[in-house]
Structure 1
Amino acid sequence: MHPPADAPADVVVAVNPTAAFGRHGDVGTRVARRLEEAGHRVTTLVRDDYPTLLAAARDAVAGLARRGGPDDGLTTLVVVGGDGMVNLAANATAGTGVPIGLIPTGTGNDFARTLGIPHGDPDAAADLLLSALASAGPAGGPATVDAARISSAGGERWFACSLSAGFDARVNERANRMRWPSGRSRYVVALLAELTRLRPAAYALELDGKPWETPAVLVSIGNGVSLGGGMRITPDAQLDDGLLDVMVVAPLGRLALLRIFPRVFSGTHVTDPRVTIRRASRVRIDAQNIVAFADGERIGPLPVEVTVVPGALRVWT
């Protein structure tokens, strides 16, 4: 147990709406209790679905932002769940100055992996968060990282880690519907199931205003390094460089994709001549009959325009 905080924080804990049905169903309650025992003022948000929880989180963050300045470290939104909850946190806090605390309990946890936050061990993640809050002040504070803003026909959204718009998005969609297996294996099974539908599409991209038209089977935009539970799609991406890494995979057959695929976990797939990575601060993607996903959440049909916003998020690490 951590000693009571010298400067207690106002903390909102938002819990994945489906968490009650999984093996981490009690984590939100445990985290809230530990924060209270450490002397912090805690409000817990539990709602029946993601849109309702996002609306509640936005309202709560607006209240937190009014209570404390962006540099005092005394307001925090803690999210309990996977990358979908990271996406919720990004959409609730981007540009507000309110820091995010992560308790990763999801399938992928890719944003937490990129930041070095313990994943698969909620108690270790809670220990890290409590220590970070205890050291808030001139000597320590949350890390400042970039976020990506999406503009599309569906409105404006944010993502923290990655956006998929191709075969990878279809794999993501299938994996989201699956209940077995868990972790990285879910994405592998989903990929194998989607291989029968592997077809290239004609993409019209713009990178910082420069057109790039190319056929491809897979297009991803990385603010962070990985997706799908450690698939290092954009292995050299950095969360604080003010740039997005755009990965494009040229048309190839099923067997060729299966040969390249295992290398994605080490990031060495980028040495294959059919894989191209370019960097830009603003990216537009368009293609027929392609749906985009960001941080595992469905965004909607292309086109989308993605703009990196330096320093839009603050995260306890």
Structure 2
Amino acid sequence: MRQFTAVVNPAAGGSSGTAALLPLARLLREAGARFDTQYSRSLEHAQDVARQAAGQGDVVLAVGGDGMAGRVGGALSGSDAVFGVVPAGRGNDFARALGLPSRTEELADLLLNGSPRPVDTIEVTSAVHAGTSVLGSVYAGVDAVANRHANTSRLLRGAASYYAGGLRAVLGWRPAAYRITVDGTEHERRGYTVVAANSGFYGFGRNIAPGARLDDGLLDVVVINHAPKRLFFAMMNELKTGAHLGRPQVEILRGREIRIEADRSVPYGADGEVDAALPVTVRVQPGALHVIC
């Protein structure tokens, strides 16, 4: 019988982290599992708790959104720890990529009986992040600005905060000149954003990289080049289905190590939380995390 430690972000999704966990914890305990709950004081504290729990052989559950999943999973990357996700945030994009069930009973059964699967992670290196590991994607440009607006929104939640944040970001955006180095080959582009994707989803279910796979040892690099802003807004709607890939302004590169630079201070983010500025180097870490999914 597995033993679990749940690392909870109590503020996730408007304090829904605890609410999502209670019925799941009851089902796991009724099945005979030991279940411990630890509330995080910060994302850094969550990482410390996760490492300690993994050290005693527990399955470590990240309870919250993509930021919590990314930090806890990133802390366990490269170890033998077994990791699970209880989606309770606003975006839950990594959980979506894993195909996790939405019903509590099905998730409990999966956590009790599902086999861990090795998935890739992303190592992020920049002036402020020395070898940090994240799970879903690293994105530089207008989407990082949009995510910052969504995270600081006090009036809107869920998808509405992402749409409003995107609108505000695009209206104030001016094209950036990017230098993208993929496995040693340089590509110079001018436009809106560059996304190095391990998972296909980001920004509350937007399928930015439909071809991305969590276990292929590659990152899909999505470049959205310059276009009139009215076309960019149309592309934002197409991100739900992946139809944006049919537009000539959208380009896909693939590689194992990507460096992203720009001609000015351009922000980048990762897993909905990391907030810094280019340049940044990202490198895929094949099969570095064992996830129940």
What residue number does 2:37 align with?
44
Distance between the aligned counterparts of 2:54 and 2:238, measured in 1? 40
What residue number does 2:274 align with?
298
Following TM superposition, by how much is the alpha carbon of 1:259 offset from its aligned partner in structure 2, in angstroms?
2.2
The 1:183–1:19 alpha-carbon spacing in structure 2 relative to 1, beyond 3 Å, is closer
Is the CA contact 1:13–1:43 (under 8 Å) kept in the aligned structure 2? yes
Distance between the aligned counterparts of 1:20 and 1:244, measured in 2? 28
The 1:268–1:19 alpha-carbon spacing in structure 2 relative to 1, beyond 3 Å, is closer
Q: 1:98 aligns with which of 76, 81, 95?
A: 81
Following TM superposition, by how much is the alpha carbon of 1:213 offset from its aligned partner in structure 2, in angstroms?
1.7
Is the CA contact 1:237–1:245 (under 8 Å) kept in the aligned structure 2? yes
Is the CA contact 2:12–2:90 (under 8 Å) kept in the aligned structure 1? no
**Does 15-24 or 103-112 show the bigger shift?**
15-24
Distance between the aligned counterparts of 1:228 and 1:20, measured in 2? 14
What residue number does 1:144 align with?
118
**Does 38-47 or 22-31 show the bigger shift?**
22-31
Following TM superposition, by how much is the alpha carbon of 1:20 offset from its aligned partner in structure 2, in angstroms?
9.2
Q: 1:32 aligns with which of 25, 33, 38?
A: 25
Amino acid at match of 2:148: E
Is the CA contact 1:129–1:316 (under 8 Å) kept in the aligned structure 2? no
Is the CA contact 1:20–1:26 (under 8 Å) kept in the aligned structure 2? no
Amino acid at match of 1:88: R
Distance between the aligned counterparts of 1:270 and 1:88, measured in 2? 30
Distance between the aligned counterparts of 1:20 and 1:310, measured in 2? 30
What residue number does 2:98 align with?
115
Identity of aligned residues (%): 35
Distance between the aligned counterparts of 2:260 and 2:6, measured in 1? 35
What residue number does 1:127 align with?
105
Q: Deviations over 1:80-118 (max 9, x none)?
A: 111111102222211112121111111111111112113
Q: Which runs of 5+ in 1 are unaligned?
A: 1-7, 65-74
Distance between the aligned counterparts of 2:112 and 2:93, measured in 1? 26
Distance between the aligned counterparts of 1:46 and 1:291, measured in 2? 30
Following TM superposition, by how much is the alpha carbon of 1:208 offset from its aligned partner in structure 2, in angstroms?
0.4
Is 1:277 the counterpart of 2:252 in the alignment?
Answer: yes
Is the CA contact 1:164–1:219 (under 8 Å) kept in the aligned structure 2? yes
Following TM superposition, by how much is the alpha carbon of 1:311 offset from its aligned partner in structure 2, in angstroms?
0.7
What residue number does 1:72 align with?
none
Following TM superposition, by how much is the alpha carbon of 1:250 offset from its aligned partner in structure 2, in angstroms?
1.1
Following TM superposition, by how much is the alpha carbon of 1:50 offset from its aligned partner in structure 2, in angstroms?
1.9
Q: Which runs of 5+ in 2 are unaligned?
A: none
Q: 2:233 aligns with which of 258, 264, 281?
A: 258
The 1:97–1:161 alpha-carbon spacing in structure 2 relative to 1, beyond 3 Å, is same
What residue number does 1:307 align with?
283
Distance between the aligned counterparts of 2:9 and 2:193, measured in 1? 29
The 1:44–1:24 alpha-carbon spacing in structure 2 relative to 1, beyond 3 Å, is closer
Is the CA contact 1:166–1:217 (under 8 Å) kept in the aligned structure 2? yes
Q: Deviations over 1:218-238 (max 9, x none)?
A: 111110111111111111111
The 1:14–1:260 alpha-carbon spacing in structure 2 relative to 1, beyond 3 Å, is same
Following TM superposition, by how much is the alpha carbon of 1:134 offset from its aligned partner in structure 2, in angstroms?
3.8
The 1:218–1:21 alpha-carbon spacing in structure 2 relative to 1, beyond 3 Å, is closer
Q: 1:164 aligns with which of 106, 115, 139?
A: 139
Amino acid at match of 2:84: G
Distance between the aligned counterparts of 2:45 and 2:200, measured in 1? 29
Following TM superposition, by how much is the alpha carbon of 1:298 offset from its aligned partner in structure 2, in angstroms?
1.7
Q: Deviations over 1:95-149 (max 9, x none)?
A: 112121111111111111112113xx4xx2x43343234436xxxx112211111
What residue number does 2:53 align with?
60
Considering only CA atoms, is the larger Rg found in Structure 1 or Structure 2?
1
Amino acid at match of 2:277: P
What residue number does 2:265 align with?
289
What is the number of residues matched between the two proteins?
291
What's the TM-score, normalizing by structure 1? 0.86
Is the CA contact 2:10–2:16 (under 8 Å) kept in the aligned structure 1? no
What residue number does 2:224 align with?
249
